[in-house]
Each structure stands twice: as C-alpha cells, then as structure tokens.
Amino acid sequence: MSAPAVSSLRQSSSASQAFEIRPFDAPLGAEILGIDLGTPLNAEDFARVHQAHLDHGVLVFRDQHITPEQQIAFSRRFGELQIHVLKQFLLAGHPEIFIISNIVENGQPIGLGDAGKFWHSDLSYKELPSLGSMLYAQELPEEGGDTLFAQQQLAYETLPAELRAAIDGRRAAHSYIARYADEVFEGIQRPRLTPAQLAEVKAVVHPVVRTHPETGRKGLFVNENFTTHILDIPEDESRQILAELFAHSARPEFVYRHQWQPRDMVFWDNRALIHLATGCPRHLRRRMHRTTIQGDAPF
C-alpha cells in the first residue's frame, strides 16, 4: 500500500502541540481540539493527524484562524493540490483555493453556489481523483448549511450478497458534465464550459469498488453526481444496479451530519466517503474555501 506524498520530516524540529482527538458518536468522524494549523506541525504531530484521518474519515479542526497561504501549506503536506476547472471561482492570487458560496455580488456569484446538491466524491471524474478535501468556514448562515458524509467502506461491507456479486470486478464511467445542467442556483445556470475546460474533464473509468491505497479496505466508488453507467452490461441493468447502490450508500447508519461552527476546518477522505451539502435559506450568506488534494488512480 502506498504512502501519501507528505513532507512531515521537514517539520521535525517544530515544537509539539498538545491537542485532543475526540471521535464523534457517529459511524465516522472526529474533532481535533487544541491544534493550531497556522503553525507547521512537527513530524510526530503530523503523523498523529494523518493516522486520525485514516481512522475516522472526517476530521474537524475547531476554531482555526488561518490565512489562505496557511491552508494551502497544510493541505500540501498530504500531496499535490488540484485546481478546479471553474477558474472564475478560484480565490484571487491563490488558485489552489476554490470558493464555495451562495453570495451574489453585482448579479454574479462569487463562488459555486450549488456545490454538492447530489451525493459525490470530489473529482471522481478525474484520472487521479481527490485524496481528500479541506473546507474552511469563512461565513456561515444562521441556520442550515450542514454537510452530510457517508462511509462507503461500511456501505460495501453491508451490501446484499447478490448486489455485491453483480459489481464484482466491474468498472464505471464518471463525468463532470453528467448532471452539470441540473445544477442551478437561484435561477443562475452554471457557467458554460469552454472547449478548453471540457478537455480538462473528459469522462474517465474507475472500478465500482476501490481498494483504499493506505488502509487496504474496500469501498464503493460510485456516486449519483458523476457516475453515469457501468461498463459492459446492458443500459437498463446498469441503471438498476446504480440506483440500488446509490440508495444503499447513503443509508442513515453510514452517515455523519456536520453542523458547522465558526472557523471550522473539515478534512475528509474522498477515497472512502461521499458527501452532500444540505443547503441553507437563500437569503442567508455562506462562504467556504476549499483545497483539494490529488490522490492515486483507483484500483
């Protein structure tokens, strides 16, 4: 099993931080208290955070006061960062940060307002999908705005035997534009993609069940946002199997619901989870900054 491209050894001289990892009473997730991500972690502290990420799938770093540069620096310790295809929603001067926001200024959205209305794993439509994403709360609504996370390894392990046999060894296609036209925010259609942007998001094929490159655990790797069909079976059979997988993958017993607090930084494992944004009342402002870490080719 491969290890992440980390640079923790370079930080070995930093002072250790006293922080607590507190698992949630949920199928996944833990919060980390007393850590300052604005200060580079030494090798031992970074290894502890890295292992917690593998153990819990979702980490919530509470009460962070970090700059865009610090968010980028911490994210890069896990690997190369991916730049989103919608360049108009990248933070000025920091293209590694993708703005997710429902705020409209001068008739134009400042970020992607409808990100996550369907269950998905970030960038599953790329040849090298995301290892993980870090989402940092900038401005939160007074109500709503929760994010749901579903553990896909548990989902695979609890599949009915017949359904598990039906997907054994199968591959599925993923496409960024599969539901692109369905994503409308406050009457504003998503930006029309240019030929150059379309070339960045050509459809790819991944295994329906992937093996986690660090833990070796198997999990479902299909999602309703980007997965279009299973290869080498009739179209109606593909639709039926995917419908069953999508329904099973988001069962309540696999889900952690994150209720955001000010200055939360949430780091989740896209190799093991899918997630969903629940939305908030349209008149309440929400702004988040996301960095996305490149992962390995699924196998």
| 128 part of a folded domain | yes
Confidence band, pLDDT 50/70/90 cuts, at residue 177: confident
pLDDT of residue 108: 86
| 112 part of a folded domain | yes
| 5 part of a folded domain | no
Confidence band, pLDDT 50/70/90 cuts, at residue 2: very low
pLDDT of residue 189: 62
Q: Is the pLDDT of residue 239 over 70?
A: yes
Q: Report the range of poorest mean pLDDT among 29-38, 189-198, 264-273.
A: 189-198
The residue-averaged pLDDT of 252-277 equals 98
Range of the domain at 68: 19-294
Mean pLDDT of the chain: 92
pLDDT of residue 10: 45
pLDDT of residue 93: 97
Which residues are part of the catalytic machinery? 120, 122, 275, 290
Q: Is the pLDDT of residue 8 over 50?
A: no
pLDDT greater at residue 150 or residue 15: 150
Structural domain total, the chain: 1
pLDDT of residue 181: 62
Q: Is the pLDDT of residue 55 over 70?
A: yes
Q: Is the pLDDT of residue 243 over 60?
A: yes
| 192 part of a folded domain | yes
Confidence band, pLDDT 50/70/90 cuts, at residue 13: low
The residue-averaged pLDDT of 84-108 equals 94
Share of the chain above pLDDT 90, in %: 81
Task: Render pLDDT for 188-226 as a digit per residue (tens, 0 to 9).
Answer: 567 778 888 888 889 999 999 999 999 999 999 999 999
The residue-averaged pLDDT of 154-166 equals 97
- Dist CA 176 CA 173 (whole Å): 10
pLDDT greater at residue 179 or residue 17: 17
| 88 part of a folded domain | yes
- Dist CA 116 CA 292 (whole Å): 14
CATH number, domain containing residue 114: 3.60.130.10
pLDDT of residue 6: 47
pLDDT of residue 5: 47
**Among 250, 200, 207, CA closest to 225:** 250
| 2 part of a folded domain | no
| 179 part of a folded domain | yes
| 9 part of a folded domain | no
